[in-house]
Amino acid sequence: MIINSELEQRGNQFPNDIKEVRQEVDTIYFTTLNEVVLQLTVIRDSVIRFRYGTRGILEDDFSYAIDTDSYTGYNHLELTENKNYHIVTTAKLIIKIEKISLQTKILDKEGHLINEDEIGFHYEESFTLGGNIVKMGKRAHPGETFFGLGDKPVHLNLRGKKFTNWATDSYAFGKDTDPIYKSVPFYIGLKEKKAYGIFFDNSFKTNFDFCQERLDVTSFWAPGGEMNYYFFYGPSMSDVVANYTHLTGKPDLPPLWSLGFQQCKWSYFPESTVKALAQKFRDLRIPCDGIYLDIDYMEGFRCFTWNKEYFPDPKRMIGELEADGFKTIVIIDPGIKIDPDYWVYQEGLENDYFCKRADGPYMVGKVWPGECAFPDFTNPEVRDWWAGLFKDIVGDIGVRGVWNDMNEPAVMEVPGKTFPDDVRHDYDGHPCSHRKAHNVYGTQMARATYEGVKKYVYPKRPLVITRSAYSGAQRYTSSWTGDNVATWEHLWIANNQVQRMCLSGMSFTGTDIGGFAEQPTGELFARWIQLGVFHPFCRVHSSGHHGDQEPWAFGDEITNITRAFIEMRYTFLPYLYTMFYEYSTKGIPMIKPLVYYDQEDPHTNYRTDEFIFGNCILVCPILEPNSKGRRMYLARGTWYNFWDNSIIEGGRELWVDADLDRIPMFVKEGAIIPRYPVQQYVEEKVITELKLDVYFKIGKEASQVYEDGNDGYDYKKGRYSLRNFNLTGKEGELTIQQHKSGTYDTSYDTIKLNLIGLSFEIKTITVDNVEYDLNILENDGKCLKLSKNFAVVNLMG
Ligand code: GLC
């Protein structure tokens, strides 16, 4: 307790003896003699909320992060006590609250300690700003590892590092730069192969220390608000992430075209440049679905206007692009130019929609258009107004997606690069200063944009992309990782950031492929494309100041490699879409770090380069120049080398060849991977056949393929097609059962099985109890065409 007295001297206060315990259904209040109250709520058997108030007071309960539609419910809740502890027991957890200190220990049902307070909750009163600096200290065990926390540009395992969450415009950030654009105060701990998660739902500048200050302590704190955190128990990391994503919300399916390739630059203008760009994609036969217009499409950077010199008739242009299979996405920033003749500014002013300083003047800051006012997106009325601004641009002109940038919010030429702390916000009827609203500002902007785009693009689905985000943003928007740099180190960062975002509930993320600042070499661009096609959001973007960064900017060899990998992404579209379906319905990350894939294998705990694309393709990017391959760790299990179908045992490090036209890729045995033909854009072709790459295995494996109308909302009425496959392989026998649900009738009538690694020669083929002649086999006995509705196919050797 020496530490406590030291901390006490520095002004910290601690809860003392519990004097009162009160239960209200799923919530138990523990109050101490010195009036600290712990509100413990059982959300689910494995999800517990801990919330602490001082002076006996809890704040009005409000959070932007929590999805109010997320269902709750537990099977068991019991409150007991012994000499030293009050004990809360659920069907999955035992939570002990120490009577003399309010410190907690969380154990699983078998009595294994999962997580325990070290100092636990403590606080300092903030005499200058009011309220408390709220703190939590947890014991960290030797070998415990930590993951999550959004977009941090560091090694996947966070142990030994300290972080701050304060959304920051971070042009050309580097490895270890902290903080950057996003604030996702959620982390996963892995202790003795069991995973848990902690979500500190506090929008102030939160801080996390993973054993940096003290080797055996993990702590988190904030200079205001409440100590309010959710604890998730696994023991699988998959359940932890799914439960976190469930609590903070899952996105609807995006339009399928948004999973196609996207091309961006600062900036494509005028119209002739955009048209030439589009034409070049088609001429070179490089698939592409989205073209992005950066700030120069506007009139003097005024949002919701068009520069009529560059784009005399945007509606016509966008229509022509659509006819050629391109969707147009435009950037919209939060700063509204202060210009008395500009209608958006006028409306904002008249209706009192702009943020103000504490003493009343408007919050004025410089961004691209010069001096700007900034809508208070934390005000629901302002969000409604903002949504309505998309009527023309989306509803009439035909823009299909909106890209929100600078929404940290970024302000130029000021030291903090953002609003001063005193700026006032509505915070949905809980008025506060910028200290509390800063981290949610970007998400509330994206939310308002989403509402607008969704309304006016109807009956199509919306696409929003954001730079800044707080937990829960995934309900409204995809994201990119901001202004990275065209260096090899940034390729490493990109790989870590997207994996980390996927672990943090925000799968629909990508990086500026090739790097935003500076110019990549052709080799770096090729290596980045090879990684980028496996990211849920796949967009090339660059500042445009250093030269071109289109797929053809680096000579024929690189163009051909780029084309091949973008084509590969298009062939994987049904696989990608199924990944999104699993994310959107179950909160399963679209790509999975190795530690998530196999947390029981200690080797994975410290890996950071390899990841699993979907459920069964292991990818490891080449991150160094002049490589002919690399050493990597192959997860446990049996794998097929994607490139030559050779079979290889995992659970070990190995050298893998990968010349410039290859990336190390392995497919899990038993996998069934759905593929479409190459298309120049989504829906270019009517799909006449679904190809399934079947990777033979002795044993069983389940997989699924989700499809629907690719856009629109009919899928919500059951108009989707979900094919569940069960593969069973034995010596000399392969059986695949199909169970189909949903009422969507896919355009193809046949499914083609592409049999890979079959260990026997086929002698009999039986489909739904009918025996077929062997000559229905194609391609040297490797391919079998079936009616799409087959129930069971059995192949015997
Ligand atoms: C910011 C964005 C970048 C964009 C530029 C101009 O730097 O991060 O993506 O191109 O602003 O709008």
Residues 321-349 have pLDDT tens digits of 999 999 999 999 999 999 999 999 999 99
Are the beta carbons of 531 and 663 closer than 8 angstroms? yes
Could you tell me which CATH number the domain at 263-333+384-414+430-570 has? 3.20.20.80
Q: What is the DSSP string of 162-225?
A: EEEE-----TT--TT--S-SEE--EEEEEETTEEEEEEE---S-EEEEESSSSTTEEEEEESSS
pLDDT, one tens digit per residue, over 63-111 is: 999 999 887 799 999 999 999 999 999 999 999 999 999 999 999 999 9
Cα 265 to averaged position of ligand 1 atoms, centre (Å): 9
Q: Give me the active site residues, please.
A: 405, 408, 483
Mean of pLDDT values over 234-260: 98
- Which atom of ligand 1 has the smallest separation from the CA of 265? 10
**Residue 452, C-beta contacts closer than 8 angstroms, at least 6 positions apart:** 386, 387, 388, 389, 390, 391, 394, 402
CA angle, residues 617, 651, 661, in degrees to nearest 5: 40
265, 266, 543: residue to mutate for ligand 1 pocket, most atoms within 8 A of CB: 266
Q: Which of 754, 752, 735 is nearest to 793 (CA)?
A: 735
Where, residue-wise, is CATH 3.20.20.80 in the chain? 263-333+384-414+430-570
Which residue lies with its CA nearest to atom 5 of ligand 1?
266
pLDDT, one tens digit per residue, over 674-709 is: 999 999 999 999 999 999 999 999 999 999 999 999
Mean of pLDDT values over 616-627: 98
181, 331, 478: residue to mutate for ligand 1 pocket, most atoms within 8 A of CB: 331
Cα 405 to averaged position of ligand 1 atoms, centre (Å): 7
Cα 291 to averaged position of ligand 1 atoms, centre (Å): 15
Bridge partners for 155 per DSSP: none
pLDDT, one tens digit per residue, over 741-770 is: 999 999 999 999 999 999 999 999 999 999
300 sits in the region (left: phi over 0; alpha: psi -120 to 50; else beta) called left
At the second CATH level, the architecture of 4-234 is: Sandwich (2.60)
Cα 349 to averaged position of ligand 1 atoms, centre (Å): 26
Bridge partners for 656 per DSSP: 630
pLDDT, one tens digit per residue, over 114-132 is: 999 999 999 999 999 999 9
Where, residue-wise, is CATH 2.60.40.1180 in the chain? 591-668, 686-796
pLDDT, one tens digit per residue, over 131-174 is: 999 999 999 999 999 999 999 999 999 999 999 999 999 999 99
Q: What percent of the chain has pLDDT over 70?
A: 100
- Which atom of ligand 1 has the smallest separation from the CA of 541? 9
What is the H or E stretch that residue 322 is in?
Answer: helix 314-323
State the pLDDT at residue 3: 60
Residue 1 pLDDT > 50: no
Q: Spelled out in words, what is the top-level CATH class assigned to the domain 591-668?
A: mainly beta
Q: What percent of the chain has pLDDT over 90?
A: 97
- Which atom of ligand 1 has the smallest separation from the CA of 264? 10
Cα 382 to averaged position of ligand 1 atoms, centre (Å): 24
Which tokens is 644 given? Answer: 């030559």
Where, residue-wise, is CATH 2.60.40.1760 in the chain? 4-234
- Which atom of ligand 1 has the smallest separation from the CA of 331? 12
- Which atom of ligand 1 has the smallest separation from the CA of 294? 12
265, 269, 294, 465: residue to mutate for ligand 1 pocket, most atoms within 8 A of CB: 294
The answer to pTM > 0.85 is: yes
Q: Which of 627, 647, 622, 628 is nearest to 637 (CA)?
A: 647
Q: Spelled out in words, what is the top-level CATH class assigned to the domain 686-796?
A: mainly beta
pLDDT, one tens digit per residue, over 565-578 is: 999 999 999 999 99
Are the beta carbons of 692 and 673 closer than 8 angstroms? yes
CA separation for the pair 55, 37 (Å, rounded): 8
Q: Cβ < 6 Å from ligand 1: which residues?
A: 266, 294-295, 331, 405, 467, 482-483, 541
Which residue lies with its CA nearest to atom 7 of ligand 1?
483
Cα 532 to averaged position of ligand 1 atoms, centre (Å): 19
